[in-house]
Amino acid sequence: MPEPRETSPPAVNGAGRTSAGGDTLTCGVPLAALVDQADAGRLEPADAHQATCPSCRKALRAAATADQAISLLRATTGPVPAGLVDRVMGRVRQTAADTGVIELSAADHRAGRPLRVIGGIRVRHQVVADIARAAASTRRGVTVARAAAQPRPGSPGKLEITLGLLVDGRTPLPELARRVRQAVGAAVRRALGPTEVHVELTVLDLLDGD
């Protein structure tokens, strides 16, 4: 049985790391090759080297042990409990309702809640997202695929608006992004009052210009 070679991370059954970055056993056989061999169900020595190499033999023995152990778990099956989807949706709807309203005094101290409280009016994040969506959509060549708004994590009083855009590829993206941010920021401040707005943009795809 070979002595495991000291490597980082710690060697397992003589596994080491080559200078090229590929992981191998101490005998030089790549770990990936042994994984592929095990996945193919060939858990016995497959050639003359493996038949005589202590590292390979030990690795294959361990692979066989692991395979049998894991097969026990793979055999664990059972029917999906009746009503599970309804229970999931019930919890989701309850959560959506619970996070739909927060108290005015706690507004700036509950980062992560999908709400923004302005002057005693409770505003759902979806409303802010809709304002942002409408504003961004006024920019030529921009279609808003998704929009979300939430208090900016770690920055009380600031809003983070996230937009996923489909854009006309003929307009340079930096210019397009500037126009969208400007429109969104103005619309949100017009609706909610002075507010620091951070607009995160993701271009999901380019649309044909026609």
3-state secondary structure (DSSP) of residue 46: coil
Q: And the tokens for 49? A: 């080297």
Partnered with residue 197 across adjacent β-strands are 159
Quick one: which of 3, 5, 22, 28 contacts another protein (CB under 8 A)?
A: 22
Minimum CB separation of residue 70 from another protein in Å reads 5
Quick one: which of 18, 65, 138, 182 contacts another protein (CB under 8 A)?
A: 65
116 — phi, psi (to 5°)?
A: -135, 130
Q: And the tokens for 119? A: 């002057």
Site string for another protein, 172-201 (x = CB under 8 A): ------------------------------
CA distances from 131 to 38, 112, 159, 208 (A): 55, 19, 13, 26
Query: Cβ closer to another protein: 9 or 172?
Result: 9
Q: For residue 52, what is the enclosing H or E element? A: helix 48-52
Residues that bind another protein (CB under 8 A): 1, 9, 12-13, 15, 22-23, 31-32, 34-36, 38, 57-59, 61-70, 72-74, 76-78, 80-81, 84-85, 87-89, 91-93, 95-96, 126, 129, 143-148, 150, 162, 164, 166, 202, 204-205, 207-208
